[in-house]
């Protein structure tokens, strides 16, 4: 048994008692269904045609038995329907949780290569199909296998030639269904991929709806969506075409079997080799023969859809998180914040060029280091290596003398606070977003953090203060307000190390001034890395690193680097000239 097969069946384990009770009830349903034609035959052949003395009372007795069986059949069917579906839903929930937990473990590099819509499709549509498969497969295979085998045994005992004549059609039907099922599997897989593309397109458009409207590109987005939607439509048409062939083929064979029974049975009645009661029994049991075939054919479609969903589920689950804890990783609760880079190199893929190479530096606890350079030289990447958002390709980074690979990820990242240019706020209230910095924080601690971030006053001016809903990604707030909430989050987290990734570059002058004050308060007595866009904001930094594609080209204080008249001086003077031009133009 393959590892995937074992994994598939492992989800039944917590619900074995429910599964066994459902299967028992399903067996009773199948058995009772098989009994009804026999009881009908008993009344017509033994009681009526056989001239039984107490025929009327025997009919009542048999009818009462059939009524009891109907009640049992209904109760069992209801149990199977509810508890079977509930079991499938619980298994689906378990798998969705497992997949979501796995998403949390995967590294930035994984998300760099993925589309959100595809990931969303795997955790919704694919798992819904799986829930149906987990629920229906065991009970349906049992019910219809019992019906099919039971019907065969009963019919072979009634009339062997007629039974064999009926069963001659079944191999043809099996070969026909198997051929089309393979085609159906391909169509289902393609459909899953394409609905994922539709989701990805919708997610991309809605996430950027303000950009879409600002460029009046609604028609462009409609065309892009129409293209993906049409591709999905074609894949569904392929599914429906193959389903039509299967169902019409099964229906045609069913009619041929009925025709065979009627004609062949009629001939046998005329030749006195079969009586009318047995022919009626045969016709009643045809349903018990054909229904399993029809249902199992339908289940083949359901099976293929579920298997496709499981394959896509496992494709993600089998991706090992690139960045994991070392076997003997340690916990650090109160890091001092001494950081050392030792000949660090980094590239996104083994076959890619280096983004960073031969980076060596030491930063003492509490120091502020600014990193400057042209776009694309790896400033953000350099800082992303400290909390292990990406893994170094060569060399090592040490925290308080310990290789960060030897520190548990959760403890390493608790000691690092990140304030980014592109602030992400979650849908919800102000207080919920600040509390994200430390979920167990009290309301008083949250307010204190907001005050330190210069956010308290503007929060009180909102319609519901700290309970104000800020919308998706904080759309109801200004850029400066969003940035101050993100700073309040970090204040609440209270880490010994900070990374400011161009945190003020997109703000207006007034907002920048307020946010800059908050950042300076936050950075006090903490090891701080500032990725700077506006060089005027880092003049007070204890050390400035100038990063180029050759590594750390220059380092020193603002005054030292200006005196050196190198790369930093040229960048600073260029920004100064640009600022003068703006003032004159204004």
Structure tokens that stand for 192 in this block: 């899953």
Judged against a pLDDT cut of 80, whether residue 293 lies above it is answered with no
Please state, in angstroms and rounded to a whole number, the distance separating the CA atoms of residues 409 and 352: 26
Q: What is the CATH number of domain 8-317?
A: 1.20.1560.10
pLDDT of 15: 93
Tokens for 471, please give them: 């919308």
Q: Picking from 123-127, 182-186, 209-213, which range would have the lowest pLDDT averaged per residue?
A: 209-213
Task: Name every residue whose Cβ is closer than 8 Å to that of residue 284 and which is 6 or more positions away in sequence.
Answer: 36, 37, 40
The two domains 8-317 and 419-494 share their CATH topology (first three levels equal): no
If one counts every other C-beta atom within 10 angstroms of the C-beta of residue 475, the result is 12
Q: What class, spelled out in words, does domain 419-494 have in CATH?
A: alpha beta
The closest alpha carbon to 488, from 443, 526, 454, 525, belongs to 454
Q: Rounded CA gap, 291 and 285, in Å?
A: 10
- Rounded to the nearest integer, the mean pLDDT of the chain is 83
**What is the pTM for the complete model shown?**
0.76
pLDDT digits (tens, 9 = 90+) for 392-427: 999 999 999 999 999 998 899 889 988 887 788 888
Q: What is the pLDDT of residue 362?
A: 92
pLDDT digits (tens, 9 = 90+) for 466-519: 999 988 778 888 888 888 888 888 888 889 998 988 766 666 677 777 777 888
Pairing between β-strand 394-399 and β-strand 339-346 as defined by DSSP bridges: antiparallel
pLDDT tens for 330-376 read: 998 788 999 999 999 998 887 778 888 889 999 999 998 989 888 88
- How does DSSP classify residue 536? G
How far is the C-alpha of 437 from the C-alpha of 439, rounded, in Å? 6
**Architecture, CATH, for domain 336-415+497-508+525-586:** 3-Layer(aba) Sandwich (3.40)
Decide if 59 contacts 273 (C-beta within 8 A).
no
Q: pLDDT: is 185 or 439 the higher one?
A: 439
Token pair recorded at residue 579? 């600022």
Helix/strand/coil (H, E, C) string of 321-360?
CCCCCCCCCECCCCCCCCEEEEEEEECCCCCCCCCEEEEE
Residue 229 has pLDDT above 60, yes or no: yes
The domains of the chain are located at: 8-317, 336-415+497-508+525-586, 419-494
Helix residue ranges per DSSP H, 276-327: 276-317
CA atoms of 72 and 59, how far apart (whole Å): 20
Q: Is the pLDDT score of 581 beyond 60?
A: no
- CA distance linking residue 34 with residue 215, whole number of Å: 68
């Amino acid at each position: 048994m393959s590892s995937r097969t074992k994994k598939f069946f492992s989800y039944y384990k917590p619900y074995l008692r429910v599964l066994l009770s459902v299967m028992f009830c399903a067996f009773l349903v199948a058995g009772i269904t098989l009994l009804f034609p026999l009881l009908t035959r008993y009344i017509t052949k033994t009681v009526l045609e056989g001239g039984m003395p107490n025929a009327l009372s025997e009919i009542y007795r048999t009818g009462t038995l059939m009524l009891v069986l109907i009640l049992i059949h209904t109760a069992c069917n209801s149990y199977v329907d509810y508890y079977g579906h509930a079991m499938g839903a619980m298994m689906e929930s378990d798998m969705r949780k497992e997949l979501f937990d796995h998403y949390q473990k995967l590294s930035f590099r994984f998300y760099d290569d993925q589309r959100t819509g595809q990931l969303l499709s795997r955790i919704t549509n694919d798992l819904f199909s799986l829930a149906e498969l987990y629920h229906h497969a065991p009970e349906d295979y049992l019910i219809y296998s019992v019906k099919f085998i039971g019907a065969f045994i009963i019919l072979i005992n009634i009339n062997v030639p007629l039974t064999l004549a009926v069963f001659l059609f079944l191999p043809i039907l099996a070969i026909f269904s198997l051929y089309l099922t393979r085609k159906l599997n391909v169509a289902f897989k393609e459909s899953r991929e394409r609905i994922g593309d539709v989701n990805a397109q919708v997610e991309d458009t809605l996430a950027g709806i303000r950009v879409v409207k600002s460029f009046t590109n609604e028609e462009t987005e409609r065309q892009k969506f129409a293209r993906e939607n049409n591709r999905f439509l074609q894949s569904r048409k392929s599914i429906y075409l193959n389903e039509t062939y299967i169902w019409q083929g099964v229906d045609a064979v069913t009619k041929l079997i009925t025709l065979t029974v009627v004609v062949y049975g009629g001939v046998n009645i005329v030749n006195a080799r079969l009586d009318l009661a047995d022919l009626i029994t045969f016709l009643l049991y045809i349903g018990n023969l054909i229904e399993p075939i029809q249902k199992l054919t339908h289940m083949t479609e359901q099976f293929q859809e579920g298997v496709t969903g499981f394959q896509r589920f496992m494709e993600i689950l089998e991706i090992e998180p690139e960045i994991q804890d070392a076997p003997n990783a340690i916990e650090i609760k109160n890091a001092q914040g001494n950081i050392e880079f030792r000949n660090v190199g980094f590239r996104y893929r083994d076959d890619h060029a280096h983004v960073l190479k031969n980076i060596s530096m030491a930063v003492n606890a509490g120091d502020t280091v600014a990193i400057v350079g042209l776009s694309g030289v790896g400033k953000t990447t350099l800082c992303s290596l400290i909390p292990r958002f990406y893994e170094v390709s060569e060399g090592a980074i040490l925290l308080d003398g310990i290789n960060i690979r030897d520190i548990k990820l959760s403890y390493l990242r608790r000691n690092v606070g990140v304030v980014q240019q592109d602030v992400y706020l979650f849908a919800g209230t102000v207080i919920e977003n600040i509390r994200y910095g430390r979920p167990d924080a009290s309301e008083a601690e949250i307010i204190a953090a907001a005050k330190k971030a210069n956010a308290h006053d503007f929060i009180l001016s909102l319609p519901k203060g700290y309970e104000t809903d800020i919308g998706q990604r904080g759309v109801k707030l200004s850029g400066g307000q969003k940035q101050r909430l993100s700073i309040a989050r970090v204040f609440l987290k209270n880490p010994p190390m900070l990374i400011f990734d161009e945190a003020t570059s997109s703000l207006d002058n007034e907002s920048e001034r307020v946010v800059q004050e908050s950042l300076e308060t936050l950075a006090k007595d903490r090891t701080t890395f500032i990725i700077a866009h506006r060089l005027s904001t880092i003049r007070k930094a204890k050390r400035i690193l100038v990063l180029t594609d050759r590594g750390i080209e220059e380092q020193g204080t603002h005054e030292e680097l200006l005196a050196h008249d190198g790369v930093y001086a040229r960048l600073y003077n260029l920004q100064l000239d640009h600022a003068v031009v703006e003032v004159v133009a204004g």
